[in-house]
Amino acid sequence: MTVLRRLLLFFMAMLGYWLWTSHFSLFGLAPQLLLVLTVGVAAREGPIPAMCLGFGWGLFLDVLSPRLFGANAFALTLVGYGTGSVRRQIDVTGLAPQCVVVLFMSWAYFLLLSLLGLVFARDFLWGGWPQFILDPFYNALLAALLFVLWGRRP
């Protein structure tokens, strides 16, 4: 993937995330598109581009949020790194492995954000059980959809 295409993906993903969360959320639930994309990039391209993009997307999320600045950047960097590490052990380029990785990474992401809140703001930033339980599945569905649209890595 060329630098230009990555830049395009970087900005289009942010725009898509913003549009989805602002206008197409169902009962307050919207998938973490940026997290799904970070996992997808890590699975297809490796951890280095995924971590760079994840860090940038995390900063974008932090700018939008009034809470801990840097928490999302850190969490998505870790998601990219974690997926890249898993990639060395198992093949995550398939549909089912990618959905499973997204599912677990989503839970890890939520827990990490809450823990960071507890450490740096002395507040366990808990989004609520519905979000914690349903959002990962929503993310997994989105990952499947993106996999179909994007296609398997040649």
Partner 1 sequence: MHREARISNYLLAGFALVSLVLLSLPLSAPVLAFKACVAYVLNPVAFYGAKGAERLSGIPGRVRGLLVADIENRLLREEIRRAAWVQAEADALRAENQRLRPALGLKPPEGLEPLWARVMERDPLHWYRSLMVDAGSEEGVALNTPVLGQKEGRLVAIGRVVEVRPRSSLVLLVTDELSSVAATLSASALEGLVQGQGGRRLLMNYLSSEVQLQAGESVTTSPTSATFPPEILIGTAVRVRPRDPFLTYQAVEVEPAVEGSALTEVLLLKKALPGRSQSMARSQGGGVSQDAAEAAR
When asked if residue 135 is in the footprint of partner 1 (CB under 8 A), the reply is no
Would you count residue 74 as binding partner 1 (CB under 8 A)? yes
x/- string (CB under 8 A) for partner 1, residues 4-23?
Answer: -------x--xx--xx--xx
Q: Of the ranges 28-36, 51-59, 92-100, 102-110, which one interacts with partner 1 (CB under 8 A)?
A: 51-59
CA angle 142, 144, 146 (to 5 degrees): 70
Residue type, 54: G
- Residue 118 interacts with partner 1 (CB under 8 A)? no
Q: Is residue 122 at the binding interface for partner 1, with CB under 8 A as the rule?
A: no
Q: How far is the CB of 144 from partner 1 (least distance, A)?
A: 25
Q: Which is nearer to partner 1, 13 or 102 (CB)?
A: 13
What is the binding site for partner 1 (CB under 8 A)? 11, 14-15, 18-19, 22-23, 46-48, 51-52, 55, 58-60, 62-64, 68-71, 73-74, 77-78, 81, 84, 88, 116, 120
